Structure 1
Amino acid sequence: MKRIFGSLWVVLLAATFTAVAPAITNAADKKIVDKPFLQDYRGPFIKAAVPKGQDVRKSGNNIRAIAVDTNDIIWAATADGLMQVQEDQLVSPEGATVDGSTYAVLANPDGSLWVGAWNGLFRIADGQVTQDTGIEGPVTLLRRTGKRLFAATPRGLFEKTDDAWKKVEGPWATNIYDVVVAGDDLYIAAWSGLYRQSAGETQWLQGKEQALSRRVNSLAADRNGHVWIGSAAGIDIYRDGRRVAAITPEQGLPSTSIQCLNLGHDGRLWVGTAIGAARFDGKSWSFRHSLRWLPNDNVRDIEFLKDGSAVIATADGISIIRQREMTLESKADFFEKLVRARHVRPPGLMERCRLAVAGDISTFEPMDTDNDGMYTGLYMAAESYRYAVTKAADAKANATEAFRAMEFLQTVTGTPGFVARTVIPVEWDRMADGNRTYTDEDAADHFAREARWKKVENRWRKSADGKWLWKGDTSSDEITGHFFSYPIYYDLVADDAEKKRVAALVGRIMDHIIEGGYVLRDIDGQATRWGVWSPEKLNNDPNWWLERGVNSVEALTYLTIAKHVTGDEKYDREIDRLLYKEHYAENILKPLRTGNDYFTYIGYQLLAFCYPALLTYEQDPARRVLYRESMEAWFAPVRRDDSPLFGFVYAAFSGGDAKLGACAELLRDVPLDQIQYTIHNSQREDVEVVGIPVEGRRQTRRLLPPSERAVFRWDRNVYFVDHGAGGRWEGSTAFWLMPYWMGRYYDLITPPEK
């Protein structure tokens, strides 16, 4: 049923449908005011039970149309008969059954229903089903528009008058897709095109100046007299019989394969397409697709509950997209609960979890990743900042638990200073990169592809107590994540005894790196594949040219932090030597060496972990100038990405313009659902796909909102056009929590008024 509601479309029409989101501004870009906003989310998908072996195309999940009755009950016309939503399931209603293929359903103001089926028209009232003998099946369309009631069959269009169905005569083909009344005009979408019947005359609206496409699938009218016409080429808008505007991908419409459209209670336009559902608020488009939002991207119909929630019918079930009022602070609390529920595993490490059944968090199980240490460090930093801001006891406890886990990653190796990537209980029989052997030919193949490849057959080793397996070949990424978080915990949470533990741990790791010649030596005595910061490699080995800048910044950061927490001046002497004797002062001015087809987000994230310590603890004016110049060179290429991590680091330590308003909008738009679904944006018509700048990977030219893309974290390419993990794991939210609480600590975010 296409309802007629008041809206803001007069303003929209005056704006000529530019459909480009306005620039986001924040007062002088100095501070984010945490005001309430509406957060989209969805509940469980609503589906019918499908017997084993039944073709979904003939099941109750193949939905043709839906209706919401006066009691907010959802009804669905499906390939397996009339269905009703009960407790998040599609079921056949008791005592009101319409069997076989149904095509249309319409809720009446008196609480009754009309149902269009293969064998005729049925009315359901007070639990009783009666067949209306005035019209033959199949009934493919039911529409109440204005005060008029219509039905359509392959024989044509019929209107209910004086308790009888009368055929509406006209020159259109008899397959009717939709009708709508606007004032005294009747618009008809038929197989042969769009028609307007007014004052006894019928006009066929065709040609480039009248309609985008002959194939019109859906019609809607608003209170201001505009008729919205959804076709296979976009949306036309008519008023008083004249086309006044058109919406295509050039105006931001994600897809022209429009199958239905409707106006919500709040006046926003919802559009169902073959690749997802789009929403337009008069300024910008939102696109809801993939299993994050819909059980199937083939959208058939859209209706609304009393609270404004959108009920979206698809080719394989129903999704209800709701909104809840939140603040960034309440969202942080939600994400904190998510972490504690499924993402902290013994001995206190925090990262993603595996889903035994794709998309089903009730089947979660812990898993290991190569970056467990880094993300545990991010979580420790987030909780340290939270404790500094709120003095919450649980924040302090969580930060301490995370520090103990990171400390354990060093002590479990049984070495003076080597750090494991991660640990798992010895009972686990499933882990990433299990131990293996390489034949000489295997090794040669790897070496042929990468000159820096290192043969590591025993990545996993058993702990001395036999309880754990720990993973070696630790990378510079992990060490940087560790060092980033240590001083934050040291400064904001640790008491005197705990400070000594932090200082001892940092000293052991730093000394191990220095004594190894500024490489991270594994238990085999050789450098790990990625743990290299030595002047000989960075300055003289062309295989390390790309890492010269970022790894130079990392080494200086480690030393600066070691000096801060231990007070040992030997680390300051090492800083001076690397800067001026080994030319790191020159290296860091080009922190990342990128090109037209090379860009690495992991490098930008690692640098974001470095500058806070360099510009907090270094007091030497000449060094600070170098570090500031390095930071400016780092931030310039990623300013456009609106990353809260990058933006908050830059704002806190430079005072420069970091687009804080855009960073805040990104934090707001990140979905509450952190399951990593596969998302395809290459099929969208509003997205330009390019091959730069990340090593030739296909990506979007413009930055899509987080709710429409697969990648949220700051170490991955946020422009990937197609990406995801099929819903097989849920990501942790440290990537969100750390910059949020950092923003609170550095007074970049004003908390909401209580």
Structure 2
Amino acid sequence: MRTYFKNLAWSLLLLSLACAKAPKQDDSTASMPVYKDVPYPQDYSIKYAINKEDLNLFSAHMDRNQLIQVASSQGILRTHDGQFLYPGILMEDKTYRPLTDKKITAITLYKNQFIYLDDKAVLSNAWAGTLYLKHNLPRATIFSAGKDFGFLISDGGTLQYVSKSNNSWTGAFANDTVLTIKFDHNSNTFYILGKNSIAAFDPQKQTLTTIFKGEKFNSLAILGNKLIVGTLDGYMEVASDTGKKIGETHKNLPWTEITYIENIDGNLWFGSTKGAFMLREDGKFNYYYGKRWLPGNMVNHISKANDGSILILTDAGLGQIVYKEMTLYDKAQYYEKQVRNRHIRLGFNSSLVDLDNGNIDSGRLSDSDNDGLWTTMCLAGEVFRYAVTESEDALQNCMESMDAMERLFNINKVPGFPSRSFERSGYIERLGDPERWQHTDDPEWDWKSTTSSDEAIGHIFAYGVMAELMDNELKDRAIVLIDTLMSHIVRNDMYMVDFDGKPTTWGRWNPEYVNARPKMVGDRKINASNIIGMLQTAYHFTGKEKYKEKAFDLMENHGYLDNLMWPMKDVAMAPDDADDWSKMLSESWNHSDDEMYFVGYWGLYKYAFNDTLKTKFKEAIIDHWEIERPEKEGAWNIMTALTGTQEFDLEEAAWYLREHPMDLVTWDIMNSHRKDITFMEPNFRNQTITEVLPPDERPVQRHNGNMFRLDRIGKDGGEEYSAGDIWLLPYWMGRYLGVISAPVN
């Protein structure tokens, strides 16, 4: 009892620390709907690869002692090592030496104990080794456990029933080949699947009856009073009592080449030649494909482990799908460690690249064109975290990132110009885009030029959040950087001017450039939206009239208010008579623009010059959100909540956060082969299917990616993304806005 109360006290203390500071809410968000952060089952995979060639894997089970064994062409294997993100291997099990001398061909479970089949008997080490039932099928490779220590075995042509009560039976499986045997506990019946038939064996009456005929069967499961029969072109249902087929063959699946079926707790699990999937109650599937989940995609066997995980055996090894009860807050704690342990380069939020087949200890931190943007998004998330929790760790993270952001400005000689990135000298030729790198006066350092509007809006967003929510030295430092960048832009006639005295390719907000685009071209709207939000932020925190005057000049004399209010549904390709640049800009929907819009909405809405503009800006934001709704993008939904609207798809935002994979390695992903999704005709938005797939079934990507992207091939295990901008920003912003609760036990 003493230990119980001690643990309870610690739990309450930790919970109080997690909720140390109530979210700051203004009037616009005080009455918002709130997602209650209760525990949910978070899935992830532990993988075990084979370490031998010419090795065939047959089945995998876990016993009551949580030991995993695999039946293979080279005897019994066991798992060695293996953790999340650190794969183990399957190796020979030498634990019990006498078994290594036997010709074990199959393994199953009975009463959660391992049962083995060899050329002479059904045997086990449980029950003090007393289970040893001899049989007469020296080539037997198939068996199933029934009741009362009874087992039905087969060599493919003959069946033999053996039991501890010596109630033996032998019979031929006429005119067919046995593929598998499953036992139905409810009816006390063994069902035998052949290539072209299904038979039922009654161990009490010792009768074998053919109940259904067809062709090209390969797998079998029992679900209530139905037999689920797999083929290489979908699966069918057969009534076990009448032997009649129910309905049509099911082909609306992730993949129709079924290799194995199992009923696990009332849910049908399917193995296929392209991964595994589980049929949900809503008729949709959870799909496990690629090395994010499995060592290989050819599935041989599926079973439920004694710890609640699912064992999926493939031709290349074992994937153990683990379900851990956790809250979004728990997930955030994991991601915070992921970022700090592997993704901080000189204070920047960076990717880990050049991984050796997903080995996260083999990679290197990479610079990026968007070091400024990815870092500001991560930084803003940490500011929100600090505002909610007053965490000293979050404050230190902000300090370190702010050091990097300030150095972007002072490492080059251009007043007020933020570099894209910087790195120690001597690496230019080895870095991406070497032509963009410039030397500094310090021979130890180089900096990257050609900074774009992506970085600029990210800077102003993060500094605005910091200036708004911090009450320490970071507030003043943020305001200085807001003024520094915006002074550069205003001084240079609404351009970002590089070291060569020329505007950068994308840092252009001058009306001569912006209004040269036809109205339907997205760049006209995005540039107007971003610069007004940036100028408002600068005026709000510095009080300098030049920013307010410039913003109203752009809105009243150059149509920027009309530009940013242009309906999203009318963003389209440039007309045939437009200039080539406008045509290039509008070939398809730009998801990087979506990211820039929403990052900029903080300053556009929150620091609006007056209530009339604020109402208009809210209209523009919700108009944008409406067209983004099919993507179920967690960040965009939560950022829309900033406006105080009651409808911003909170459940979809929580779905995005829950369903996001813990594994952020860029494994190859394929979905375009799936038969359970409805494809759309090619369109301007590049929406490929009618309903977006969960984040853990599609390629890992940042918010500037197309959420309807189905495939990514070529980076298989080569890179790990940081959760700082992808996940932690929307989560902590949701916590700050009060639309995601603190963790609830």
TM-score range, shorter chain: 0.7 to 0.9
Question: Is the 8 Å Cα contact of residues 179 and 219 (structure 2) preserved in structure 1?
Answer: no
The corresponding residue for 1:717 is 706
Give the distance between the partners of 2:612 and 2:442, measured in 1 at CA. Answer: 49
Give the one of 152, 167, 170 matched to 2:154. 152
Question: Is 1:561 matched up with 2:528?
Answer: no
Give the distance between the partners of 1:243 and 1:520, measured in 2 at CA. Answer: 73
Report SS of the residue matched to 1:418: coil
Give the distance between the partners of 1:151 and 1:430, measured in 2 at CA. Answer: 65
Alpha-carbon RMSD across the aligned residues, in angstroms, is: 2.9
User: What are the Cα deviations for residues 212-256 of structure 1, in whole angstroms up to 9, with x where unaligned?
Assistant: xx333232335x444333333224253423558568666x63222
Question: Is the 8 Å Cα contact of residues 411 and 440 (structure 2) preserved in structure 1?
Answer: yes
Deviation at 1:33, TM superposition (A): 1.0
Q: How do residues 667-678 of structure 1 correspond to structure 2 at under 5 angstroms?
A: 667-678=657-668
Deviation at 1:611, TM superposition (A): 1.5
How does the TM-score come out when normalised to structure 2? Answer: 0.85
Letter in structure 1 aligned against 2:36:
V
Give the distance between the partners of 1:340 and 1:29, measured in 2 at CA. Answer: 32
Report SS of the residue matched to 2:743: coil
The corresponding residue for 2:451 is 474
The corresponding residue for 1:692 is 682
The corresponding residue for 2:187 is 183
User: What are the Cα deviations for residues 125-180 of structure 1, in whole angstroms up to 9, with x where unaligned?
Assistant: 37999998733443231211345412221333322256586433454403433343
Question: Is 1:193 matched up with 2:197?
Answer: yes
Question: Is the 8 Å Cα contact of residues 294 and 318 (structure 1) preserved in structure 2?
Answer: yes
Question: Is the 8 Å Cα contact of residues 700 and 719 (structure 1) preserved in structure 2?
Answer: yes
Give the one of 594, 607, 613 matched to 1:604. 594
Q: How do residues 639-658 of structure 1 correspond to structure 2 at under 5 angstroms?
A: 639-658=629-648
Judge which range, 337-346 or 241-250, deviates more: 241-250
Question: Is 1:313 matched up with 2:310?
Answer: no
Give the one of 457, 465, 487 matched to 2:442. 465
Give the one of 626, 646, 661 matched to 2:616. 626
Give the one of 486, 503, 511 matched to 2:487. 511
Which runs of 5 or more residues in structure 1 are unaligned? 1-27, 51-55, 208-213, 436-457
Question: Is 1:49 matched up with 2:36?
Answer: no
The corresponding residue for 2:295 is 295
The 3 A distance-change label for structure 1 pair 581 and 248 is farther
The 3 A distance-change label for structure 1 pair 30 and 575 is same
Give the distance between the partners of 1:430 and 1:234, measured in 2 at CA. Answer: 55
The corresponding residue for 1:65 is 59
Q: How do residues 495-534 of structure 1 correspond to structure 2 at under 5 angstroms?
A: 495=472, 497-534=473-510
The 3 A distance-change label for structure 1 pair 406 and 544 is farther
Question: Is 1:33 matched up with 2:10?
Answer: no
Deviation at 1:490, TM superposition (A): 1.2
Report SS of the residue matched to 1:402: helix
The corresponding residue for 1:216 is 217
Report SS of the residue matched to 2:136: coil
The 3 A distance-change label for structure 1 pair 115 and 90 is farther
Give the distance between the partners of 1:351 and 1:42, measured in 2 at CA. Answer: 24
Give the distance between the partners of 2:291 and 2:124, measured in 1 at CA. Answer: 34
User: What are the Cα deviations for residues 359-413 of structure 1, in whole angstroms up to 9, with x where unaligned?
Assistant: 1112232111111111110111111111111111111111122122111111111
Report SS of the residue matched to 2:361: helix
Deviation at 1:562, TM superposition (A): 1.1
Report SS of the residue matched to 1:550: helix
User: What are the Cα deviations for residues 572-616 of structure 1, in whole angstroms up to 9, with x where unaligned?
Assistant: 000110001011111111265644972221111111011121111
The corresponding residue for 2:7 is none
Deviation at 1:738, TM superposition (A): 0.8
User: What are the Cα deviations for residues 545-574 of structure 1, in whole angstroms up to 9, with x where unaligned?
Assistant: 431000111111111111122110110000
The corresponding residue for 1:11 is none
Give the distance between the partners of 2:436 and 2:602, measured in 1 at CA. Answer: 32
The corresponding residue for 1:405 is 404
Give the distance between the partners of 1:480 and 1:487, measured in 2 at CA. Answer: 10
Letter in structure 2 aligned against 1:154:
G
Letter in structure 1 aligned against 2:297:
D
Judge which range, 698-707 or 668-677, deviates more: 698-707
Give the distance between the partners of 1:676 and 1:99, measured in 2 at CA. Answer: 43
Give the distance between the partners of 1:657 and 1:165, measured in 2 at CA. Answer: 67
The 3 A distance-change label for structure 1 pair 134 and 746 is closer
Question: Is the 8 Å Cα contact of residues 463 and 481 (structure 2) preserved in structure 1?
Answer: no
Question: Is the 8 Å Cα contact of residues 220 and 229 (structure 1) preserved in structure 2?
Answer: yes
Question: Is the 8 Å Cα contact of residues 69 and 79 (structure 2) preserved in structure 1?
Answer: yes
Question: Is the 8 Å Cα contact of residues 482 and 538 (structure 2) preserved in structure 1?
Answer: yes
Give the distance between the partners of 1:522 and 1:81, measured in 2 at CA. Answer: 67
Letter in structure 1 aligned against 2:195:
W
The 3 A distance-change label for structure 1 pair 380 and 689 is same
The 3 A distance-change label for structure 1 pair 463 and 541 is same
Q: How do residues 526-545 of structure 1 correspond to structure 2 at under 5 angstroms?
A: 526-541=502-517, 545=521
Q: How do residues 727-738 of structure 1 correspond to structure 2 at under 5 angstroms?
A: 727-734=717-724, 735-738=726-729
How does the TM-score come out when normalised to structure 1? Answer: 0.84
Question: Is the 8 Å Cα contact of residues 198 and 213 (structure 2) preserved in structure 1?
Answer: yes
Question: Is the 8 Å Cα contact of residues 29 and 660 (structure 1) preserved in structure 2?
Answer: no
Q: How do residues 415-426 of structure 1 correspond to structure 2 at under 5 angstroms?
A: 415-426=414-425
Identity of aligned residues (%): 26
Report SS of the residue matched to 2:277: strand
The corresponding residue for 1:708 is 697
Give the distance between the partners of 2:133 and 2:684, measured in 1 at CA. Answer: 63
The corresponding residue for 2:107 is 105
The corresponding residue for 1:665 is 655
Give the distance between the partners of 2:40 and 2:69, measured in 1 at CA. Answer: 31
Letter in structure 2 aligned against 1:752:
P
Question: Is 1:143 matched up with 2:144?
Answer: yes
The 3 A distance-change label for structure 1 pair 466 and 694 is farther
The 3 A distance-change label for structure 1 pair 609 and 145 is same
Structure 1 stretches of 4+ with a deviation exceeding 6 A read 99-102, 126-133
Give the distance between the partners of 2:516 and 2:322, measured in 1 at CA. Answer: 57
Question: Is the 8 Å Cα contact of residues 650 and 656 (structure 1) preserved in structure 2?
Answer: no
Letter in structure 2 aligned against 1:402:
S
The corresponding residue for 1:453 is none
Report SS of the residue matched to 1:540: coil
Question: Is 1:580 matched up with 2:556?
Answer: yes
Which runs of 5 or more residues in structure 2 are unaligned? 1-30, 83-88, 574-586
Question: Is the 8 Å Cα contact of residues 135 and 162 (structure 2) preserved in structure 1?
Answer: no
Q: Higher relative CO (CA 8 A, sep ≥ 6), structure 1 or 2?
A: 2
The 3 A distance-change label for structure 1 pair 388 and 106 is same
Judge which range, 30-39 or 94-103, deviates more: 94-103
Question: Is the 8 Å Cα contact of residues 270 and 279 (structure 1) preserved in structure 2?
Answer: yes
The 3 A distance-change label for structure 1 pair 475 and 285 is same
Question: Is the 8 Å Cα contact of residues 559 and 571 (structure 1) preserved in structure 2?
Answer: yes
Question: Is 1:83 matched up with 2:77?
Answer: yes
Give the distance between the partners of 2:208 and 2:359, measured in 1 at CA. Answer: 56
Judge which range, 514-523 or 560-569, deviates more: 514-523
Give the distance between the partners of 2:526 and 2:177, measured in 1 at CA. Answer: 68
